[in-house]
Amino acid sequence: MTGSARHFLEFHDIPEAGLRSIVARAGKLAEAWDERAMPQSLTGKRVALIVDDGGWRNTSAFDLGVQAMGGICVHVPIGFNTREETGDLAGYLGNWFDMLVIRTKELNTLKAVAIAAPVPVINARTRSNHPCETLGDLAYIMSRRGSIDGLKVVGVAADANILRSWVEASIALPIKVVQVYPERWHISDAALLNERFRASTDMGELSDAGVVITDSWPGDSVSEALAGYRIGTDILDRLPEDAIFLPCPPVTRGQEVTAEAMEQSLCQSRAAKAFLLHAQNALMEWVVA
């Protein structure tokens, strides 16, 4: 974290105790949401929502969550790395807002904003990582399993933002993350390597997985190279009965998953994404506390 503000740029920016409190709070906020009794914990808070890189799920959830908890959310139509210096933009935004939620391409852009901004900055997705997505999934997993300690997460995915955020999570939390994919697409970033992460080519790693995640096939792949890493019902049927399958949207049926796998009982993508809202709400509470 930079300065005195509580930023969330990478998953492991927040210490383990803070992450645990956010995940637990997400469960409480899920109950409040269902009861239409949301706490007004953002009353008086003014939040800038900046979408510099498309997408709709988590940014819509941020907008909705701010309003549901009594805050004011303003969509700020700016882009970074164009006419105005990033540091200047951050300073101007800090004049008016109590929190900046930003979805942009480059993680380094967010880091530059955080250095200059006097208020918390939340990463709503970059090409390098997507920590809110992982936070939401962990909150859902917690609601289902009651604990995340010792969890084994197998990512059948290339080195990209979803998997990288799970590896970031393994730095901060007592979970094991295994990437299962051809070596060409293995994570090798020294900043992410840690004792709770490893990479493999062996699909047998899924046999004792608590959670299996996928992501879209990389653009430089050929289908023959990845066909053996496609998740179908034949693979899901061999997982532990309490395993959770979380294909990352947008799902490309026939590539990383089969259409039948999306209908199998272990596939909990839709239910898990409901917790994206609750986890982000808990995160916003935490950063302004």
pLDDT, position 157: 97
Q: Assign 128 to helix, strand or coil.
A: coil
Handedness of CA 253, 257, 258, 259 (dihedral sign): negative
Tens digit of pLDDT per residue, the chain (289 long)?
Answer: 345 789 999 999 999 999 999 999 999 999 999 999 999 999 999 999 999 988 889 999 999 999 999 999 999 999 888 888 999 999 999 999 999 999 999 999 999 999 999 999 999 999 999 999 999 999 999 999 999 999 999 999 999 999 999 999 999 999 999 999 999 999 999 999 999 999 999 999 999 999 999 999 998 877 888 999 999 999 999 999 999 999 998 889 999 999 999 999 999 999 999 999 999 999 999 999 8
* Token representation of residue 32: 């409040």
CA atoms in the 13 A half-sphere facing the CB of 130: 20
**Backbone dihedral region of 147: left (phi > 0), alpha (psi from -120 to 50 degrees) or beta?**
beta
Sequence-ordered list of residues with C-beta below 8 angstroms from that of 13, at least 6 positions apart, any chain: 1, 7
What is the spatial distance between Cα 120 and Cα 3, in angstroms, rounded to a whole number? 10
pLDDT, position 77: 92
* Token representation of residue 93: 């935004």
Q: Where are the beta strands (DSSP E) in the chain?
A: 46-51, 72-75, 99-103, 121-123, 152-156, 176-180, 197-200, 211-214, 244-247
Structural domains for the chain: 11-130+274-288 (3.40.50.1370), 133-272 (3.40.50.1370)
Q: Assign 246 to helix, strand or coil.
A: strand
What is the spatial distance between Cα 45 and Cα 42, in angstroms, rounded to a whole number? 5
Q: What is the DSSP letter of 104?
A: -
